[in-house]
Chain A
Amino acid sequence: MIRKDQHLYLALLLPAIIVLLLFIAAPIINSFFLSFHRIIIGLPQLKTPFVALDNYLQLLKDPIARHSFFITIIFVALTTFFELLIGLFLALLIHHRFPGRGALRACVLIPWAIPTVVSAQMWRYLFNDAYGVINYMIFGANTNSYIPWLALPTTALSSIIVADIWKTSSFAALLILAGLQVIPEELYQAAKVDGAIVWQRFRHITWPLIRPALLIALLFRTIDAFRVFDLAFVMTQGGPADATNVLQLYGYKKMFVEGWMGYGSAVSVCIFIIVLVIAVAYVKMVGRRLLEANV
């Protein structure tokens, strides 16, 4: 038996804890503090007066903020739904043993591995209004009917949703795949002996047993989808007419383009609280059980 040396463990933990405190915990607390002040980058002579809830009241009154919230919810709901659906499809395929399984898994990982910025430029190219291949596939050589996908409010948001689904379905697939791999093979054998067809086996064995994995993928994807920024920044800069001005982009613009650090902090606190609620739900549902299983 080795001695449980608590001081040694604390010393080993300390560097990591310091970095996490300095760059994550303290900034989050500081964001709350800043959100009650008026701080304008570039005008330090105005000081940073305490304005209580002014920033939050202003935020509630801002129609652009409300619109931002609304389209972010649409984005999160649609991307999460389709990512889980496609992820389930991909996971079921990869779970099968067949020649070329490794190759398929590598293909599926590619969208996940490439930088979001690259996939954003890629979709900007594919959705191009004059020579984009998507227009060509729909309308052929008839360039008059080509749709400027990224310049119309409804299609711009849909384009970003498509780009996100392409990029992150594979991540959902990996989480679901991990769930599939813990299902004992014997269950399928037994069902086969009982004469269950493919659909029945999926409905009565696979589906109930991967529901926990689906739940985890759902919560991970929901939390992550609220952070969408890169796609909107590169593909549309939030336009046209704020149609793709998702929350994180809105907060970024207020803070770093317009210089309203206090107001921007109020925006980021609101996003933080939304994500926190989802995260708490996540930890409540699956976190404790995982910790007990793992460590």
Chain B
Amino acid sequence: MGKLPNKILFILGVFLAAAFSLAPFLWFVSAAFKDQTQITAIPPEWLPSFSVEAFSSTVTQHGIFHYLWNSVIVAGGATLVTIILGALAGYALARLSRGWAQITLMGILACAMFPQIAIVGPVWRFLKFMGWLNTYQGLILPYVALTLPLAIWILAVFFREMPEELESAALVDGCTRLGSLVRVIIPLSAPGLFTAAILTFIYAWNEFFLALLIMTDPARQTMPVGIALFQGEHTIPWGEIAAASLITTAPLIFMVLLFQRRIVTGLSAGAIKG
């Protein structure tokens, strides 16, 4: 970045990138703080009047907290189960002999590549057969299956880097193998577990396709389904949609701001040696 023109170009690029990423979203969520006349105004009114009408109506008329609660249970449940199963499997793969670990990981990785449409028909029939349509476990279990491959991958890589001596020491002190996993390896792997948990949570929180098929009862629908099927009486209720979108997105933005470094390494671990 020696010469001045280069520097100016670089700064311009940074502003362009920030505007590209943020401007459309900021404009959309500003509608949450506008009233209907402001939303449909031409020329557009850049500054919202900061009315809270849209927020109160999403809560009182559209029962947004209900959807939010379903999302919390489904995404939270899926994250918990994925991390437990992923940690067990990841540990086994990290300590298994090389050949078997590679073949198993390849198989698990392959599961993550397949399009959801290829599994939904049979999954839907299976859930119907079990009476699990419109139940939390009916959505949590497919989410666990879809998020496990990346979680196992991240955790297996993480556990590999744990020296075996730590475990040997615990075994000498009288721990069982499982005991040393739970008391020594897992606590030391908190960063890896946390990364896998964040990515799993974001996936489950945002997923729409399966949620749409499995949760047909509005009482069980998650936020993305609620937002996609948002109905107004006469016009499209942009204020309410934007308010609901902001409520759904707020926890994610919070996570991105706090844990961006982890998210970046976790995502690229799935593709390139991190």
**A34 engages B121 (CB within 8 Å):** yes
**A2 engages B121 (CB within 8 Å):** no
The answer, yes or no, to whether B74 is at the interface (CB within 8 Å) is no
**B227 engages A117 (CB within 8 Å):** yes
User: Which B residues are in CB contact (< 8 Å) with A70?
Assistant: none
A264 → B minimal CB distance (Å):
6
Of all chain B residues, which has the CB nearest A217? B271
User: Which A residues are in CB contact (< 8 Å) with B273?
Assistant: 182, 290, 293-294
**A19 engages B27 (CB within 8 Å):** no
**B114 engages A272 (CB within 8 Å):** yes
Of all chain A residues, which has the CB nearest B178? A8
For the complex, what is the distance from the CA of A2 to the CA of B6, rounded to whole Å?
Answer: 56
Of all chain A residues, which has the CB nearest B211? A117
Quick one: which of B39, B118, B224 contacts A28, CB cutoff 8 A? B118
B234 → A minimal CB distance (Å):
14
Quick one: which of B21, B148, B252 contacts A170, CB cutoff 8 A? B21
For the complex, what is the distance from the CA of A16 to the CA of B156, rounded to whole Å?
Answer: 13
B19 → A minimal CB distance (Å):
9
Of all chain A residues, which has the CB nearest B245? A118
Q: How many A-B residue pairs have CB under 8 A?
A: 315
**A175 engages B271 (CB within 8 Å):** yes
For the complex, what is the distance from the CA of A19 to the CA of B149, rounded to whole Å?
Answer: 11
**B171 engages A2 (CB within 8 Å):** yes
The answer, yes or no, to whether A36 is at the interface (CB within 8 Å) is no
The answer, yes or no, to whether B47 is at the interface (CB within 8 Å) is no
The answer, yes or no, to whether B183 is at the interface (CB within 8 Å) is no
B210 → A minimal CB distance (Å):
10
User: Which A residues are in CB contact (< 8 Å) with B92?
Assistant: 8-10, 12-13
Query: How many residues of A are counted as interface, with CB atoms below 8 angstroms from the partner's CB atoms?
Result: 109
The answer, yes or no, to whether A85 is at the interface (CB within 8 Å) is no
Given A93-B14, A295-B94, A131:B42 Cβ within 8 A = yes
User: Which A residues are in CB contact (< 8 Å) with B149?
Assistant: 20
The answer, yes or no, to whether A73 is at the interface (CB within 8 Å) is no
The answer, yes or no, to whether A133 is at the interface (CB within 8 Å) is yes
**A104 engages B24 (CB within 8 Å):** no
Given A22-B145, A115-B227, A256-B213, A261:B121 Cβ within 8 A = yes
The answer, yes or no, to whether A268 is at the interface (CB within 8 Å) is yes
A211 → B minimal CB distance (Å):
13
**B117 engages A248 (CB within 8 Å):** yes
Given A13-B88, A93-B14, A255-B120, A2:B114 Cβ within 8 A = no
User: Which B residues are in CB contact (< 8 Å) with A230?
Assistant: 208-209, 224, 228
A-B contact pairs, 8 of them (CB 8 A): A4-B96, A12-B89, A16-B148, A117-B228, A118-B245, A125-B28, A125-B242, A251-B117
Q: Beyond the given A93-B10, A251-B117, could you list 9 further A-B residue pairs with CB under 8 A, ordered by the A residue number?
A: A2-B171, A2-B177, A113-B252, A131-B39, A229-B209, A252-B209, A268-B120, A271-B117, A294-B273
